[in-house]
């Protein structure tokens, strides 16, 4: 299984391609699409789209995963990221790739175990998990690899954990107490 992960941005879009075979991960490629702030938005978006299409044609990924937009204090930034996400998703859909989206918090939690991890922590864990010797020049490339890893982890987890009747993936418990009452079999020492 080859997965293309993307960390979208209009100035820098990171991409990372991993291959997963029998639980073993290998990196096929990672880099960034770098745009100039002096270029118009349509030109930046075209460059992102064209480069992702080249990557898809070169590596033939089986699936595509992208980070969702982070809605911080700056609505204008979120809107621009939305544009980069749109052309990235369009490249995947035009190549008929199944597409998944993950929040930054989900990606960080999947890779580091902490949804509030720093970019440095994500980079360290990605390097460790994928045996990358030298840190990528841009965090965007590391983040894209983290998105691909997150997707792989979610895929394998959903295969390993069959759903029980009445159970949905989006269901969550409001507290540890509620979880313990619902799943006494998961408590150490209890049978």
Note if 143 is an active site residue.
Answer: no
Judge whether 175 lies within some domain: no
Set 31, 63, 67, 143: catalytic member: 67
- Note whether residue 75 is domain-resident: yes
Write out pLDDT tens, residues 21-32. 988 999 999 999
- Is position 34 within any domain? yes
Torsion of CA 123, 124, 127, 129, to 10 degrees: -110
pTM: 0.81
Query: Does position 42 have pLDDT exceeding 50, yes or no?
Result: yes
Residue 28 sits in a domain of what CATH number? 3.30.420.10
First-residue to last-residue Cα distance in the chain: 38
Q: Examine the residue annotation and report whether 7 is marked as an active-site residue of this protein.
A: yes
Mind listing the pLDDT tens digit for each residue in 156-174?
766 544 433 333 343 454 5
Cα 6 to chain centroid distance, Å, stands at 6
Is 139 inside any structural domain?
yes
What distance in Å separates the CA atoms of residue 109 and residue 8, rounded to the nearest whole number?
19
Which 3 state secondary structure label does DSSP give 170? coil
Enclosing domain of residue 27: 2-163
- Nearest residue to 150 via CA among 88, 85, 81, 102: 102
What domain count does the chain have?
A: 1
The catalytically annotated residue of 7, 31, 63, 143 is: 7
DSSP state of 173: -
54 part of a folded domain: yes
């Amino acid at each position: 299984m080859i997965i293309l992960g993307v960390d979208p941005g209009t100035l820098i879009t990171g991409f990372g391609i991993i291959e997963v075979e029998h639980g073993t991960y290998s990196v096929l490629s990672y880099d960034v699409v770098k745009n100039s702030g002096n270029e118009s938005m349509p030109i930046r978006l075209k460059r992102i789209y064209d480069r992702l299409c080249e990557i898809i044609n070169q590596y033939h990924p089986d699936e595509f995963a992208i980070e969702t937009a982070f809605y911080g204090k700056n609505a204008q930034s979120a809107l621009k990221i939305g544009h980069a996400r749109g052309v990235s998703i369009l490249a995947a859909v035009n190549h008929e790739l199944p597409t998944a989206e993950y929040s930054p918090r989900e990606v960080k939690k999947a890779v580091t175990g902490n949804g509030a991890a720093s970019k440095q922590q994500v980079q360290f864990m990605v390097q460790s998990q994928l045996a990358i010797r030298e840190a990528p020049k841009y965090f965007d490339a590391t983040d894209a690899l983290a998105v691909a890893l997150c997707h792989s982890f979610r895929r394998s987890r959903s295969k390993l954990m069959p759903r029980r009747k009445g159970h949905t993936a989006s269901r969550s418990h409001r507290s540890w107490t509620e979880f313990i009452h619902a799943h006494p079999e998961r408590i150490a020492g209890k049978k």
